[in-house]
Amino acid sequence: MHRHFNGLKTALLFGAIFAVLLGMGSVIGGGRYLWLFALFGLVSTFYGYWNSDKLAIRAMRARPVSEAEAPGMYAIVRELSMRAGQPMPRLFVSPTQAPNAFATGRNPNHAAVCCTEGILRLLDERELRGVLGHELMHVYNRDILTSSVAAGLAGVITSVAQMLMFANIFSGSDEDRPNPIAMIAMSLLAPLAAGLIQMAISRTREYDADEDGAALTGDPLALASALRKLERGTASAPLAPEPQVVNAAHMMIANPFRAGDVSRLFSTHPPMADRIARLEGMAGRHLMG
């Protein structure tokens, strides 16, 4: 088990988002329509999961690169993939100058790792190795599935909340009609709760990828150094919060947006200072061991 119990935290957060969904079902006609929302959520989750690699790569306008074009990136990913006993993913480069990287794909056999031109210029080889180890662990930990399910559930809750604003859709006899106060409260609070839980799940997966990626490379301080540079680099060259980029932002190693564009509660990434401190603590434990 990880020192910071990230897997347990993720499970508890999923329990919380399911509780919100069940709470909505109990308000709406005693749960008679819940199966419709569950079906909608299943379809949207499957679509996002199955096409996760295409959606994220398209959002960043990335292109596949050959080993001749990116020999250093290929060498690092090949070495780490072999160390993990996993297949070599496809490699992409995004033309954006903002430094960032992400991994996507529904499983290790359909994975893609993408670096921006900005991150390839910013980091040295050791730091890039730390970043790529982090990204590969997102794939090996099935974080794309985790994030797709969380996004699907949050989407269902938001859609149901919007329907609740038109209560006549669910109205029947006076005896069957849901409590209007409960409906209004649920329509306002449920999407907020779902969004907060979805972001919290994303943050736990980032901590996990940091720890597991550092274990894969055997060099926690390399990732810590890279995160310091990325914090400064993304601040000086933030991406515009366009819808496609927003949808892909949770996959990136660093929050690509200006700090003021999103609050800490709604951020898909933990604070850099916390991540760096955990990695430095991990390095200290290795030295003591």
CB 213 within 8 A of CB 130: yes
Tokens of 263: 């609050």
| CA neighbor of 279 nearest in space, from 102, 270, 140, 235 | 270
Q: What are phi and psi of 23, to 5 degrees?
A: -60, -40
Which alpha helices (H) appear in 85-179, and where do they start and end? 117-122, 125-140, 143-164
Alpha-carbon dihedral sign for residues 218, 274, 3, 136: negative
Instruction: Report which residue type is found at 67.
Output: E
Name the residues annotated as catalytic. Answer: 135
Distance separating alpha carbons of residues 212 and 28, to the nearest angstrom:
42
CB 139 within 8 A of CB 106: no
Distance separating alpha carbons of residues 235 and 230, to the nearest angstrom:
8
CB 94 within 8 A of CB 233: no
